[in-house]
Amino acid sequence: MPDLGLNVLLKGKNMQRLLSGLWTAMRISLIAVAISMPLGILLGVLMTKKNPVVRAVLRVYLEFIRIMPQMVLLFLVFFGTTGAFGWNLSGELSSIIVFSLWGTAEMSDLVRGALISIPKHQYESSEALGLSRSQTFAYVIIPQTVRRLIPLSINLITRMIKTTSLVLMIGVVEVLKVAQQIIEANRMASPNAAFGIYLTVFLLYFIVCWPISMLARRLEKKWKD
Amino acid sequence: MDITDNKENMTEAPVLLSVRGLVKSFDGKTVLDGIDLDVRQGEVVVIVGPSGCGKSTLLRCINALEPIQGGEVLLDGQKIEKDGKNLTAIRQKIGMVFQSYDLFPHLTVLDNITLAPQKVQKRPRREAEEEAISLLKRVGLEGKAGSYPRELSGGQKQRVAIVRALILHPEVMLFDEVTAALDPEMVREVLDVILQLARQGRTMLIVTHEMQFARAIADRVIFLDEGHVLEDLPPERFFTEPGTERAKNFLHMFEFEAVR
């Protein structure tokens, strides 16, 4: 068996450091998710409204965030705002801002898609039964929208978690950055550590994201119309 | 199927639904151009006409699903308006069944039926469920209360949709081409339910392409073409000696002449 350098993990506090790096990544994504979900729902509902100005503004926002690579957004917020406005945002705060902007944009598009996928007839037959506008939403439209939305938004959450691996580029010490530091520090003693350490990082991401994906798949199956 | 016998005195029954000079247009194009129509208590009125003649639109206007540009619709003398205050109250008096069934896919058959009685009429769940079950029995679906719409055939869904409208105790039922989306072998089971309702003396307005059914169930047949009522006759006269050339041509479409 080739030496994967896994013994490096057991040296000092290396494993603990990796886990705390993972926690940093999780913290950024969880806060961003907590901000994006409600904001995304709000913007998604607004996107289905008829007001052309609101729709145009939201459209531009969505396209802008989508077209920009996340890395560019991170640089823009972290370095760009320092130069332009003299703000001194920490790497973690910049990451949370970028991931919230991105998550909100993606979420709003999912919400919009789920809302417009409800056939017009669902509104009409509710109306014909005498349900008021708010009853129609509460008992007919929202339950159906949520069923379509939950698997999609769970997938978005796993994408957000995975993409936090980019924040090391603006100096946030998350799990991947810790892995690099460990490999660097043991370059002489265990030159083969890279494979073992990155494999561990892979497993850590897997342990976090896999159960979430499974949940999404299960819900999707359960609610299939 | 003796449904005409007890209706000898139809002209004596009070007018339940009244349409006066109804005008409906979409983007400046007039679809209904001054429709006048009275439906008496217990009467079954069948509306026929070529596709695009506005017959579905007429039903939708009666239930205020579409705003109208002129005229008025009265039920029990009360005006039905799209943004009227008492619209919810009046809508409960009108049961409507659509071509595409439109059951709520996330609810069971029983919940589909009892949603409006509980939320709109504020009836207790237990009472609504009991009535739902007895209505389901009448349409032969008592075993399907716990099923989801996706588990039902088209004909079964449509029967559930009829029950969902009936449970609100409407004074008039509107049927909008309810068999048009069904496979032929399922048409009968749905039409039988409607015939059963006619026998009970329900007031109904039916848009259909099933001419034999129309002939069997109608007290009056309305022929609508290009937004006008061209004929308003008892079925036996409409189907044998319609007054207009257009109605003759329309009826001719349903006949086939032997090739040999």
Q: pLDDT digit string (tens) for B66-109? A: 888 988 899 988 888 877 777 888 888 999 999 887 899 999 99
Q: Is residue B21 part of a domain?
A: yes
d(CA A105, CA A63): 9
Identify the closest residue of chain A to B115 by CA–CA distance: A139
Tokens of B58: 């007429």
Q: Is residue B97 part of a domain?
A: yes
At residue B248, the pLDDT reads 86
**Pick among A122, A129, A135, A141 to test the B interface (most B CBs inside 10 A):** A129
* Count of structural domains, chain B: 1
Contact A124 B91 (CB under 8 A): no
Q: Is residue B133 part of a domain?
A: no
Is the pLDDT at B57 greater than 60? The verdict is yes
Q: Which CATH number do you get for residue A12? A: 1.10.3720.10
Q: Is residue A94 part of a domain?
A: yes
Find the mean pLDDT for residues B208-233: 89
Contact A139 B115 (CB under 8 A): yes
Q: Which CATH number do you get for residue B208? A: 3.40.50.300
At residue B131, the pLDDT reads 95
Q: To which H or E segment does residue B172 belong? A: strand B172-176
Find the mean pLDDT for residues B109-114: 95
Residue B25 amino acid letter: S
Is the pLDDT at B1 greater than 50? The verdict is no
pLDDT in tens, B151-170: 999 999 999 999 999 999 99
Q: Is residue B183 part of a domain?
A: yes
Q: Is residue B111 part of a domain?
A: no
Which domain range does residue A214 map to? 7-222
Q: Which residues of A touch B (CB under 8 A)?
A: 119, 121-122, 124-132, 135, 139-140, 143-144, 147, 223, 225
Q: Is residue B123 part of a domain?
A: no
- Percent of chain B topping pLDDT 70: 95
**Complex-level ipTM:** 0.85
**Chain A residues lying within 8 Å of B120, measured CB to CB:** 129-132, 135
Identify the closest residue of chain A to B116 by CA–CA distance: A129
List, in order, residues 6 or more apart from B22 with CB less than 8 Å away: B32, B34, B35, B36, B58, B61, B68, B70, B71, B72, B73
Full pLDDT tens readout for chain A, 225 residues: 567 777 777 777 888 888 888 998 999 999 999 999 999 999 998 998 888 999 999 999 999 998 889 899 999 989 888 888 888 888 889 999 999 999 999 999 999 999 999 998 999 999 999 998 899 999 999 999 988 888 888 989 999 998 988 888 888 888 888 888 888 888 887 777 888 888 888 999 999 899 988 888 888 888 765
At residue A29, the pLDDT reads 92
At residue B4, the pLDDT reads 47
Q: Is residue A1 part of a domain?
A: no
Q: Is residue A26 part of a domain?
A: yes
Q: Is residue A41 part of a domain?
A: yes
Find the mean pLDDT for residues B161-186: 91
* Count of structural domains, chain A: 1
Which domain range does residue B236 map to? 5-104+171-252
Q: Is residue B138 part of a domain?
A: no
Q: Is residue A2 part of a domain?
A: no
At residue B43, the pLDDT reads 93
d(CA A198, CA A175): 10
Identify the closest residue of chain B to A122 by CA–CA distance: B102
Between CA A33 and CA A43, with CA A39 as vertex, the angle to 5 degrees is 135
At residue A1, the pLDDT reads 56
